[in-house]
């Protein structure tokens, strides 16, 4: 199942706020974008806004097309 396209938009932030988000993202091993999404989801949840779980990108190698297992 393919992930739906994401909405892109410009966001202006105070440099100190961006730096704080960047530090949090690095400590969580996330990109700034992923950290912002996480923070926004947490804030909406605290307000009682229910969202569907995000569709996560598949990770790792794609499955082999046919052939026997162990074949190179």
| Domain extent listing, the chain | 15-47
16-46 pLDDT, tens digit per residue, is 999 999 999 999 999 999 999 999 999 999 9
Angle at 6 between CA 5 and CA 11, to 5 degrees: 155
Residue 20: helix, strand or coil by DSSP? helix
pLDDT band at 14 (very low <50, low <70, confident <90, very high): very high
CA 22 – CA 4 distance, rounded (Å): 26
* Cβ burial 34-48 (10 Å sphere, 16+ → b, else e): ebbeeeeeeeeeeee
- pLDDT for res 35: 96
């Amino acid at each position: 199942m393919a992930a739906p396209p994401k909405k892109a938009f410009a966001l202006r932030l105070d440099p100190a706020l961006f730096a704080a988000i960047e530090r949090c993202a690095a400590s969580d091993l996330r990109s700034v974008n992923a950290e912002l999404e996480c923070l926004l989801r947490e804030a909406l949840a605290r307000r009682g806004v229910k969202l569907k779980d995000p569709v996560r990108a598949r990770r790792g190698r794609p499955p082999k097309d046919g052939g026997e297992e162990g074949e190179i």
